[in-house]
Structure 1
Amino acid sequence: MPKLQAANLSYQQANGGQVLNNISVSLNAKTTALVGRNGVGKSVLASLLCNRLIPSSGNVVCNGQLGFYEQLVDSHTLKNKTIIDVLGLNHYFKALQQINNGHFTEHELNLLDGFWDLPERFYAELTRLGIYGINENSCATALSGGQLSQLRLWALFTIHHDIIILDEPSNHLDKQGKSWLLNHIEQFTGQLLLISHDREILQVADEIWELTSMGLSVFGTGFSDYVTQKNYQVAALENKLSHTTKKQNKLLLEQQRSKQKAAKRAAKGVVTRKSGSQPKVLMDAKKDKASANLSSQNKNTAKREELLNSNKKHIVSQLEQIKQQQFYFTNPDIKQRNALNLENVILQYGSQTPINLQIFNNEKIHLIGVNGAGKSTLLKTLTDELKMRAGHIHRNSPLLYLDQYFSLIKAELTLLDNLKSYCKTLDESTARTLLASLGFRKHDVFKQATHLSGGEKMKLAMCIVSNIESTAFLLLDEPDNHLDLESKQLLAQSLQNFKGGFILVSHDNYFVESIGCNRQIVL
């Protein structure tokens, strides 16, 4: 019997929007990958399987210890939590403290069975990551996104689980971090459900679950074979659709020609009847025969038309209807001028080497560094969100910062209200057009932002920063995180065509190369 299975699972949001409908699936392979476009419901399905959400109908059965790595961590929550709170290890450390103080029960002893050396392992992991001057009670915000992600993953793999669900685990990880993750996935002896858009990570899967707007399909193959099989299926369906459309067009042409011939025969009959060259009884017989033939042809044509329409409807029902998307950036004519000057700046976290930089407003800069080097810290320092230890910063352009946690998005507001609250010059029609270009159409714009997936939040955040201030210099902290492959390519094209300047943090070299950054800064 599978350790994790779902039967007839459906989920409806509070606003009535149906996210999942009648999903039945079992976890059978050692490593299963759940794939699908942004907003299709992958994270919702994961939360249902973990009992973080209650389904509208259906049920989930889990026979084993289940661990869950959530994709999104709220930045405001992090400010009030210690590192071990975020890692979910606080009860282990408290149990150790109680035992050391001589106040414990059998529960604490059982809990720590196999984990007596957990503090030593925790500090060994900090050392491996190059993190010093931090302890388990330090605030989680003292760590970079990549460092915190690796520690969360380490904790999940350290504590015994029969099943682990990983939702976008490679987000924020540098090359070394991703290699570490792949190694731990390979060594894990339980079952894994892996949600990702990262092709390198997806290669480890033995089975693929594909979630689309039409439901869930299971492919009993690895990722590469799934892509080949899926492309073949789509190509075959598109070929059938094209063939059926050609038949419909041919039938329409036949109908038009048949009508033209019938009209010519009728006109000829009128002329003949008027001339009196043939008896009336013969002319009436010919007319009746022609009418009967035409009626028979019309019935036959109607049947063929109905069959073709039915076939086309069936083919279309098997093809996912994909909304066309596009990122739109405000593109004013920008004259080159100095945007930022950094003089002997020493950051609060990360590299303690003094930074001296001169940055122009039309430069497209790729900011490079390993996890913990201080990339996000530098961006936060530029916006004055973090204070520097030393040095001076001269800001000559307005700055717009998109952080890893979409902090600018107000969860309680709708998509439309979020956009209009920042881009005050936009009328409602223009705002809705911009949102529609990213796939948020009709009533979607009235959805609360709290219900968005990670990829959808990133799209909304990019829509805001690209339209809020035409002359702003952008600070983009891993904007490609959470995005599906198509959306990532669209964003790269838009940033390539963007006439303004930005500092970009990304660990995806292909994404960076697609943009065409003209400068690198290494921390």
Structure 2
Amino acid sequence: MPFTIVADRVSFAWPDGTRVLDELDAAFPAGRTGLIGVNGTGKSTLLKIIAGELAPRSGSVTVSGEVGYLPQNVPLVATRTVSDLLEISGKRAALHAIESGDVAEEHFATIGDDWDVEERARAELDRLGLARVGLDRTVGTLSGGETVMVALAAQLLKRPEVLLLDEPTNNLDLDARERLCAAVSAWPGVLVVVSHDRALLELVDQIAELRDGGVRFYGGNLTAYEEQVAAEREAALRTVRTAEGEVRRQQRELVEARVRIDRNVRAGKKAAANNRAPKIVANGLKRKAQVTAGKQRTLHQEKLEEARERLTEAEQAVREEAEIRIELPGTEVPAGRTVLALPLDPPPAAPAGSAAVPEPDDQDAPEESVVPLERLIIRGPERIALLGPNGSGKTTLLKRIVEHGAHVPVRYLPQRLDLLDDTLSIVDNVRAVAPSASVNEVRARLARFLFRGERAGQLVGTLSGGERFRATLAALLSAEPPPQLLLLDEPTNNLDLASVRRLAEALSAYRGALIVASHDLPFLETLGITRWLRQDRERGLTEA
């Protein structure tokens, strides 16, 4: 099987000395590969090294063909245009200049053979559900999901031989996820995708797991991987049980040997006393008995230690993933207490003589579900799910709640996780929002989010997406005063599957008011949602 990406003894560490990869060897075959692993194992770093965004401290990476790379967080400059993000502004300018009569040679050189660049760009945007996004629209007016899809369109336009995608489903609504999955299924070249999205990982040809400093490949999609891992874990547990039984047997044999040796020694002493043999002969027999007893004790002790070593090896082979332990503030909002009363802008009026056209996924909605709300009122510990397509204004609504203020302490977790200072350590960031907490108290809290020991002192700017989420959530929940209203914008982005489960468990136990904007319906259904709201471009906010 030809390998298209080969990493040879690749090592990487951040400037502060934090080691991410240590002499990693990996060879990625042709086809679609899902790269998985718990947060912080170096998945995003490895993609950046393959893409040439980072240089390894040692080792090398060889790639067969041109590389396209979609990062986890698309760099945003609000004044840039969609055309800039697609990297076609230069060719468009040259094309328009020629069309207006300027036939300078540099314009033809800029365009090359790409005379249909605008048509191809428009076709890619349309295919990804961005039909109404103009090429001259500024990035600052796009939603997070729209920005991701435009950035994906930019990579598809390049037609690279190797495509690298890092958490591409972040911030995408259901329609956009389906379009992304269709693009991945139709991709003719080599693809490596880092993701926690189950639907996307079901489309790959193999799973590559980054674990314990190495990469291991499993044939098939995510389901096949999970079946293989479950079988391996069961086999490992059987080995542990066998090793435990061997340890118990060796412990019994050691005790029995000691009893037998002690009995023989006592019998020998008694025989020597009754035998009246010469003293020199008696002492010789005594020493011989003691040596024999010592050898037998040593032999049984060595067998026991060997059994214990086999047990340790067997236990280490069993997969036990570290999971975050989220403890949300113990504040409770009494039932009936007004938490928020936010006046809402009326939806835009339809042009005279026109009829409102419902969104495709709203055509079968009951009539009462499309009546816009005039005010958003939250009372007591309500748990609200905020739905809506990309660009409908969900993030804008959450930010407006923060700006308007609530009747209780409120905290907001944004999509882009830009609340922390990249130049400070995790500890210092948390202490900035919890000044009354001691360093030891802060470190104890961070340990629950898997930042233990020296890792708590790591600079935020060196964290992976999943690690940054954990650090941001730790700061959010440690803030003073504790929040009684939590606003979470796409909280499952960048999280591994175990952390998503832990987050759901913690939010289920939270007794304050909660608004969660998410496209992850299985996650929302675990939270005990009491109200479902939908933000729509034309209708505004409605009861779903």
Give TM-score scaled by structure 2 length.
0.85
Residue by residue over 1:173-219, the C-alpha shift from the partner in whole angstroms, topping out at 9 and shown as x without a partner, is: 12111111111111221111111111111011111111012411122
What's the counterpart of residue 542 of structure 2?
none
Q: Between the two proteins, what is the percent identity of the paired residues? A: 25
Residue by residue over 1:226-270, the C-alpha shift from the partner in whole angstroms, topping out at 9 and shown as x without a partner, is: 211122122222322332233224323432343344445555666
**How far apart, CA to CA, are the structure 2 residues paired with 1:94 and 1:100?**
10
2:459 corresponds to 1:448: yes
Residues 123 and 171 from structure 1, CA distance in 2 versus in 1: closer, same or farther, beyond 3 angstroms? closer
Contact 1:213 1:320 in 2 (8 A): no
**How far apart, CA to CA, are the structure 1 residues paired with 2:420 and 2:347?**
26
Letter in 1 for 2:232: Q
Residue by residue over 1:291-337, the C-alpha shift from the partner in whole angstroms, topping out at 9 and shown as x without a partner, is: 24322312322442453354345445545563342011111243231
2:501 corresponds to 1:504: no
Residues 23 and 394 from structure 1, CA distance in 2 versus in 1: closer, same or farther, beyond 3 angstroms? closer
**How far apart, CA to CA, are the structure 2 residues paired with 1:4 and 1:115?**
30
**How far apart, CA to CA, are the structure 1 residues paired with 2:401 and 2:105?**
49
Contact 1:157 1:188 in 2 (8 A): no
Letter in 1 for 2:497: L
Contact 1:95 1:112 in 2 (8 A): no
**How far apart, CA to CA, are the structure 1 residues paired with 2:455 and 2:320?**
16
2:368 corresponds to 1:341: no
What's the counterpart of residue 59 of structure 1?
60
**How far apart, CA to CA, are the structure 1 residues paired with 2:66 and 2:292?**
74
Letter in 1 for 2:440: S
Residue by residue over 1:37-82, the C-alpha shift from the partner in whole angstroms, topping out at 9 and shown as x without a partner, is: 11111000100110100011111122312111111135xx433533
What's the counterpart of residue 24 of structure 2?
23
What's the counterpart of residue 421 of structure 2?
410
SS in 1 for 2:525: helix
**How far apart, CA to CA, are the structure 2 residues paired with 1:91 and 1:352?**
46
Mind listing any 5+ residue stretches in structure 2 that lack a counterpart? 349-358, 360-369, 536-544
Deviation at 1:125, TM superposition (A): 6.2
What's the counterpart of residue 215 of structure 1?
214
SS in 2 for 1:208: strand
Alignment RMSD: 2.8
**How far apart, CA to CA, are the structure 2 residues paired with 1:334 and 1:116?**
54
What's the counterpart of residue 473 of structure 1?
485
Letter in 2 for 1:516: G
Deviation at 1:87, TM superposition (A): 3.6
Residues 10 and 115 from structure 1, CA distance in 2 versus in 1: closer, same or farther, beyond 3 angstroms? same
2:114 corresponds to 1:112: yes
2:322 corresponds to 1:323: yes
What's the counterpart of residue 90 of structure 2?
91
SS in 2 for 1:150: helix
Give TM-score scaled by structure 1 length.
0.88
Deviation at 1:168, TM superposition (A): 0.7
SS in 2 for 1:24: strand
Deviation at 1:397, TM superposition (A): 2.1
What's the counterpart of residue 12 of structure 2?
11
Residues 255 and 140 from structure 1, CA distance in 2 versus in 1: closer, same or farther, beyond 3 angstroms? same
Deviation at 1:223, TM superposition (A): 2.4
2:519 corresponds to 1:522: no
**How far apart, CA to CA, are the structure 2 residues paired with 1:353 and 1:234?**
52
**How far apart, CA to CA, are the structure 2 residues paired with 1:48 and 1:257?**
60
Q: Where in structure 2 are the equivalents of 1:430-441 lying within 5 Å? A: 430-441=441-452
SS in 2 for 1:78: coil
Number of aligned residues: 507
Letter in 2 for 1:250: R
Deviation at 1:220, TM superposition (A): 2.8
SS in 2 for 1:345: coil
SS in 1 for 2:526: helix
Contact 1:73 1:405 in 2 (8 A): no
**How far apart, CA to CA, are the structure 2 residues paired with 1:352 and 1:118?**
39
Residue by residue over 1:380-430, the C-alpha shift from the partner in whole angstroms, topping out at 9 and shown as x without a partner, is: 11122xxxxxxxx67322321111001211111111111111122221111
Residue by residue over 1:310-369, the C-alpha shift from the partner in whole angstroms, topping out at 9 and shown as x without a partner, is: 434544554556334201111124323111112342489x99956422112411111111
